[in-house]
Amino acid sequence: MLRAFIYGLTILHLGPGFAFAVVAFGCDGIEPWLDTICQQDTFAAFIKLTLMAWAVMITALLLKIVIAKWINKMS
């Protein structure tokens, strides 16, 4: 239960942290692949990046759970 709580808190805090880092430091024209995100309103970009980061982290966590169950079943 504690591990699930820590995973949840980690995902909830790292999503906005990643979005802030991209909006604050990546939108100064150095990275051309961020131009589509940086041309939007700052708050809209922050929300979209947060949701994308949460989706990636939740998908990775579910993949970790599935692989761990598969490995435990094999042994």
Written as one string, the DSSP assignment of 20-73 is HHHHHHSTTTT-GGGHHHHTS-HHHHHHHHHHHHHHHHHHHHHHHHHHHHHHHH
Looking at residue 13, its pLDDT comes to 95
Q: Which residues of 30-67 are buried (b: 16+ CB within 10 A; e: fewer)?
A: eeeebeebeeeeeeebbeebbeebbeebeeeeeeeeee
The distance of Cα 59 from the centroid of its chain, to the nearest Å, equals 9
pTM across the whole model:
0.82
Looking at residue 46, its pLDDT comes to 92
Looking at residue 25, its pLDDT comes to 85
All residue ranges of the chain with pLDDT < 70 are 30
Looking at residue 40, its pLDDT comes to 84
